[in-house]
Amino acid sequence: MSTPGAPAAATLASAATADADAGAGATPVAGAIDAARLALLRDLKLAFRKRGQLVQPLAFFALVTMLFPLAVSPELSRLREMAPGVIWVAALLASLLALEFLFRDDAYDGTLEQYALSGQSLTWLMFAKTAAHWLLTGLPLALMAPLAALSLGAPLASLTGIVGSVAVGSVALSLIGSIGAALTLGMKRSGALLSLLTLPLSLPVLIYGARATQLAISGGPLLAPLELLGALAVLGVTLAPLAAAAAVRISLE
Amino acid sequence: MRQFLDMGGYAAFVWPAYLVTLTVVVLNIVWARRALERSRAAARRRLDARGEQP
Amino acid sequence: MTWTWFHRLASPPYVYALAARLTPWFAWPAALLIVAGLWGGLVLAPPDYQQGDGFRIIYVHAPSAWMSLMVYTTMAVAAAVGLIWRIKVAHAVAASCAPIGASFTFAALVTGALWGEPMWGTYWEWDPRLTSELILLFLYLGYMGLRAGIEDTQRADRASALLAVVGVVNVPIIHYSVTWWNSLHQAPSVMRLDKPAIAPAMLLPLLSMLLGFTLYFVALLLVRLRGEVLARERSASWIREAVSA
């Protein structure tokens, strides 16, 4: 159903040609960034063909959020107290769900192999794929989070803080998750194992993210946890694609 | 002796703690030796299977 | 010169034989130290003025907690060595560590809970140390789960090695964030699992237990290592002699 690795190979080949065209002045990094950009665009294009699939994690997020008023209490004051935790747990679970799609199609149709064999930097390609994944799931989640927060009694003033914290935190979550997803490539029903691998590593994000959201709702200074979240995201950006690339190579052996 | 077993009233906590730890210690020894035996048996089987081929 | 022993340690037949020879040298001293520690801790040491005889749980709790951390570190180092230098024996060491570490993490959690209830009125508390220990258990389970999920031994070795390295990098981050989180909520640090004010009569048995458990771990590792090394060997030449003995 998915076309085999040809489009991917073409993508990377054109990046290589661009490299060659540029001649002696072209640096390997430039080629890698071009390849990464093309991979990112490809992922976005392919994802938009299956728009239904994109909505699923978001619907899941909304549903999980809704469970808590029903399971606990409709009292807004109580819900407001739980809101940071509910939003973050729901976001974490939703992004875990979405992680299964990160490599699945590409591993299935051989694109991932093409990426690994292409001679382009696999690390940059992993960064591109993870970036696409964030744009398709993390960012929408961040934009939906205020709605969830409002439904749980959060004040209007808190909404920018909530979007900000979930946006930054979900970057880190996508990056951390990419490692687990790469390690469990090709495993059938890897969902539970993927969660077991990713959740412990995501705990710092959860802790700082929930704290930032909590401060946003209560009107306190959320700069400190937000900065820590940012630090985690930066650390993730630096290290996770490398680890994911290594994991992909191992999984494809 | 009774004082020893009673552990100053904390017997219900101290002795189970020691029991759990001792169990884990013993179980690890058993598992390790069993794992080695299983590996050796598997290696023997692999060798026999290969030995039968001309 | 120095590299000869390193190369030898990477040789499966050498390691297989060496492990067999070394095991008693660790096992018997371990047994001695543990028995001495038990005697010292249960009988000789006086009761604590605050916790009475209940403090004696430390003689099994501290070694278990120590094991859980030491084994994880060993596992991560061995995994890194195996990953970087592609040494099968190193992967065999890492594989041997996991079940040992996981079981003692469990023991640490249980003995910690049993210590907490009489001393501080609760079996469980979300304080940094216990929470971090629980997370460590999940790290072990994830490692073992990943290994179990990959059939090809070499691939399983390398994948789980990468996971172990990523995990060990995360442990300080996780611990820091959990400590930060706990300090925020001003949870009165009810469970202080620090060692009580230490008189030598109390300290010496503890040290004996810690050392004894360390040697015990090495002995266990050596036994498991032999099996793991065997499982990774295909060539028949040295195995034939080794397993027919």
- For the stretch C146-182, pLDDT in tens is 999 999 999 999 999 999 999 998 888 988 888 888 8
Q: Residue A171 has what pLDDT?
A: 96
% of chain C exceeding 70 in pLDDT = 93
| CA-based nearest distance C231→chain A, Å | 20
% of chain C exceeding 90 in pLDDT = 60
Contact present, A118 and A9 (Cβ < 8 Å): yes
The two tokens of residue C97 are 């560590």
Q: Residue C190 has what pLDDT?
A: 47
- Binning pLDDT at 50, 70 and 90, where does residue A12 land? low
**Residue A42, pLDDT above cutoff 90:** yes
User: C and A: touch, per 3+ CB pairs < 8 A?
Assistant: yes
**Residue A113, pLDDT above cutoff 60:** yes
Whether residue B28 and residue C103 make contact (CB cut-off 8 A), yes or no, is yes
The two tokens of residue C8 are 């030898």
Q: Residue C191 has what pLDDT?
A: 47
User: In terms of residue numbers, what domain contains A137?
Assistant: 6-252
Q: Residue A51 has what pLDDT?
A: 85
Most A-contacting residue of C155, C162, C182 (CB-CB within 10 A), to test interface? C162
Residue A128 lies in a domain: yes
Residue B35 lies in a domain: yes
Q: Residue C184 has what pLDDT?
A: 80
Rounded CA-CA distance A128/A121 in Å is 11
Residue B4 lies in a domain: no
Residues of C in contact with A228 (CB under 8 A): 177
Rounded CA-CA distance A133/A128 in Å is 8
| Cα dihedral C5/C7/C8/C9 (nearest 10) | 90
**Residue C52 pairs with which residues in a beta bridge?**
C48
| Total count of domains within chain C | 1
Residue C47 lies in a domain: no
Whether residue C223 and residue B24 make contact (CB cut-off 8 A), yes or no, is no
ipTM here: 0.88
Contact present, A228 and C176 (Cβ < 8 Å): no
- For A242, other C-beta atoms within 10 Å of its C-beta total 15
Residues of C in contact with B34 (CB under 8 A): none
What chains are in contact with B, requiring at least 3 Cβ pairs below 8 Å? C
Q: Residue C241 has what pLDDT?
A: 79
Read off the pLDDT of residues B1-44 as tens digits, 9 standing for 90 and up: 777 787 777 888 999 999 999 999 999 999 999 999 999 998 88
Residues of C in contact with A196 (CB under 8 A): 138, 141-142, 145
| Total count of domains within chain A | 1
Concatenated DSSP letters of A130-193: HHHHIIIIIHHHHHHHHHHHHHTT--GGGHHHHHHHHHHHHHHHHHHHHHHHHHTTT-TT-HHH
Between A200-204, C39-43, C140-144, the lowest mean confidence (pLDDT) is in C39-43
Comparing C-alpha atoms, which of A199, B28, A203, B33 is closest to residue C64? B28
Chain centroid, CA A22 distance in Å: 33
% of chain A exceeding 70 in pLDDT = 89
Pick the more confident residue, C187 or C37: C37
- For A77, other C-beta atoms within 10 Å of its C-beta total 8
Burial, C111: exposed, middle or buried (Cβ in 10 Å; 0-12, 13-18, 19+)? buried
- Binning pLDDT at 50, 70 and 90, where does residue A2 land? very low
Most C-contacting residue of A122, A227, A228, A250 (CB-CB within 10 A), to test interface? A250
Residue B53 lies in a domain: yes
Residues of B in contact with C114 (CB under 8 A): 13-14, 16-17, 20
Residue C238 lies in a domain: no
Q: Which DSSP category does C233 fall into?
A: -
Q: Residue C219 has what pLDDT?
A: 97
Read off the pLDDT of residues A234-251 as tens digits, 9 standing for 90 and up: 999 999 999 999 999 999
Residue A43 lies in a domain: yes
Most A-contacting residue of C84, C151, C166 (CB-CB within 10 A), to test interface? C166
Residue B7 lies in a domain: no
Chain centroid, CA B44 distance in Å: 24
Residue B8 lies in a domain: no
Closest Cβ opposite residue C220 in set B14, B21, B32 = B32
Residue C149 lies in a domain: yes
- For C4, other C-beta atoms within 10 Å of its C-beta total 8
Pick the more confident residue, A24 or C229: C229
Q: Residue A209 has what pLDDT?
A: 95
Q: Which DSSP category does A1 fall into?
A: -
Residue C68 lies in a domain: yes
Residue A132 lies in a domain: yes
Nearest Cα residue in chain C from A252: C155
Whether residue C57 and residue B43 make contact (CB cut-off 8 A), yes or no, is no
Nearest Cα residue in chain C from B48: C240
Whether residue A197 and residue C177 make contact (CB cut-off 8 A), yes or no, is no
Residue A1 lies in a domain: no
Place of tokens 């209007």: A156
Q: Residue A8 has what pLDDT?
A: 56
Rounded CA-CA distance A211/A165 in Å is 9
Cβ-count burial B14-50 (b if 16+ within 10 Å, e if not): bbebbebbeebbeebeebbeebbeebbeebeebeeee
- Binning pLDDT at 50, 70 and 90, where does residue B52 land? low
Residue A74 lies in a domain: yes
- Binning pLDDT at 50, 70 and 90, where does residue A26 land? low
Give mean pLDDT, residues A113-129: 91
Comparing C-alpha atoms, which of C161, C176, C160, C77 is closest to residue A232? C176
Residue B10 lies in a domain: no
Give mean pLDDT, residues C108-115: 92
Most C-contacting residue of A126, A185, A196, A215 (CB-CB within 10 A), to test interface? A196
What chains are in contact with A, requiring at least 3 Cβ pairs below 8 Å? C
User: A and B: touch, per 3+ CB pairs < 8 A?
Assistant: no
Whether the pTM exceeds 0.90: the reply is no
Question: Where do runs of H (alpha helix) occur along chain A?
Answer: 6-22, 28-49, 51-71, 76-109, 111-117, 122-133, 139-151, 159-183, 191-218, 223-252
**Residue C48 pairs with which residues in a beta bridge?**
C52
Question: Where do runs of H (alpha helix) occur along chain C?
Answer: 2-9, 12-39, 58-85, 88-120, 128-149, 153-184, 200-231, 236-244
User: In terms of residue numbers, what domain contains B33?
Assistant: 20-54
